[in-house]
């Protein structure tokens, strides 16, 4: 055998570690992206509701409202 069993086992362990780490990093990245997307969506929604809630310029009345008679 060219490589000893111990060396092979060590390499396998290292590979497993690397794979695990890569998976974890990928998951973290995905979570970050999801959070950002969620945040931006929430922010957009909030902005929309804010715009709706506080109209700065009310539309001018189309015709003069008649005085209310009691």
Kindly state whether residue 25 falls inside one of the protein's structural domains. yes
Domain membership of residue 21 (yes or no) is: yes
Q: Give 44's pLDDT tier (boundaries 50, 70, 90).
A: confident
- Which of the pair, 30 or 47, is modelled with greater confidence? 30
Q: How many domains does the chain fold into?
A: 1
Classify residue 8: in a domain, yes or no: yes
Q: What is the mean pLDDT of residues 46-57?
A: 69
Establish if 34 belongs to a structural domain.
yes
Q: Is 52 among the domain residues?
A: no
Q: Indicate whether 63 pLDDT > 90.
A: no
Q: Per-residue pLDDT tens for 25-40?
A: 999 999 999 888 888 8
Flag whether 57 is in a domain. no
Q: Which domain holds residue 6?
A: 1-47
Q: What whole-number distance in Å separates Cα of residue 46 and Cα of residue 48?
A: 5
Between 2 and 31, the more confident residue is 31
Q: Residue 55: what pLDDT?
A: 60
CA 58 to chain centre: 34
DSSP string, 13-63: HHHHHHHHHHHHHHHHHHHHHHHHHHHHHHHHHHHHHHHHH--SSPPPPSS
């Amino acid at each position: 055998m060219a490589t000893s069993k111990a060396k092979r086992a060590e390499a396998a362990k290292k590979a497993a570690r690397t794979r695990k780490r890569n998976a974890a990093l990928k998951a973290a990245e995905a979570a970050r992206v999801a959070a950002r997307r969620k945040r931006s969506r929430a922010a957009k929604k909030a902005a929309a509701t804010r715009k709706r809630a506080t109209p700065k310029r009310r539309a001018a009345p189309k015709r003069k409202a008649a005085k209310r008679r009691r």
